[in-house]
Structure 1
Amino acid sequence: MKRLFLFSIAIGFIGLTSCSGNSQQSKNGTEKEVLTQQNTKKMNVEELTAETFKQKVMNYDKHPNEWVFEGSRPAIIDFYATWCGPCKQVAPIVEQVANDYAGKIDVYKIDVDKQQELAALFGVQSIPTILFVPKEGTPQRVNGAMPRTGFDEAIKQVFKMK
């Protein structure tokens, strides 16, 4: 009887161990999937340097006195800093907008601490500053954090999109 009892406990222990092992494996698989999804989402927002800005948005060396847009689609540019609280609040909204309008609007971000020349070019004095750049016409600027509804409204007005 005692052996049967110990045998039952051993079988139960093996069963629990194997179940928790599968659970851990499943959990790790889920975590990897979530991280992959997050990385995929972030890929729609591109960090710009002065050089990539000149190629994709405006070459201010070639056209110092006029706005000549280099892009093929309208663009949104988020001027931010890594230490800025409101910028951290806006970042997931910017990523969501980039995902929702992928292929229709190019979404960029510029770190004002690393790209001081670009921040000065646009007179960025408060962050976040969001620049809405239509294919034709003058860019429109919004200073400060704004909710998702603000982005959607600006996209409708500036880019004439629904």
Structure 2
Amino acid sequence: MKRKQLLGLLFMTATIFTACSNKTENKTENNNQLKKETNMGTIALTKTEFLEKVANFETSPKEWKYLGDKPAIVDFYASWCGPCKSIAPILEELAQEYEGQIYIYKIDTEKEPELASAFGIMSIPTLLFIPMEGAPQMAKGAMPKSAFKEAIETVLLKSLENKK
């Protein structure tokens, strides 16, 4: 009899644990979707989204044409990369500070190797600073927040001022 009770208890515990795990996963998915939709923070991109929002290098491989409506930073990273992890919170802060002025995109090179290859990414983190007009500028390695802010002000936002 005790064995049946113990098995029943184990089954009930496993069921509750599974339900809680699924709820947490769904909540995380919902939060990620909300973040993408409201543009709060950095925005993870797949190759398809990159081709639609940043540049379609498949249709015009020799000519850079930025498709966005605001300047952008693209962070090529990997989840196991220490320097990538160190700049992730900085990029989140900057995305909130410059909300409405720039986009900050993130591309996981492990999940999107074709994108990394198309841009010749050999080390991570590699950051692509994309002004509204002109060629993007690439920076490699982790940078302090002050360096990011300087690049945003001089490369990305200055190009908008010159346009006005």
TM-score (norm 2): 0.72
Q: Which residue in the other structure is 1:140 paired with?
A: 137
| Paired amino acid for 1:152 | K
Is the partner of 1:138 in helix, strand or coil? coil
Runs ≥4 in structure 1, deviation > 4 angstroms?
39-42
Percent identity over the alignment is 50
Distance 2:91 2:39 in 1: 10
Give, in whole Å, the separation in 2 of the partners of 1:101 and 1:142. Answer: 19
Q: What is the correspondence of 1:6-155 to structure 2 with a 5 Å cutoff? A: 43-155=40-152
**Structure 1 gap segments, 5+ residues each:** 1-35
Letter matched to residue 93 of structure 2: Q
Write out per-residue CA displacement over residues 30-69 of structure 1, whole angstroms, 9 at most, x where no aligned residue. xxxxxx9xx9698421101110001100011111110011
Indicate conservation of the 8 Å contact 1:77/1:110, yes or no: yes
Paired residues of 1:42 and 1:95 also in contact (CA < 8 A): no
Quote the RMSD (CA, aligned, Å): 2.0
Task: Show the counterpart of 1:158.
Answer: 155
Aligned length: 125
TM-score by length of 1: 0.72
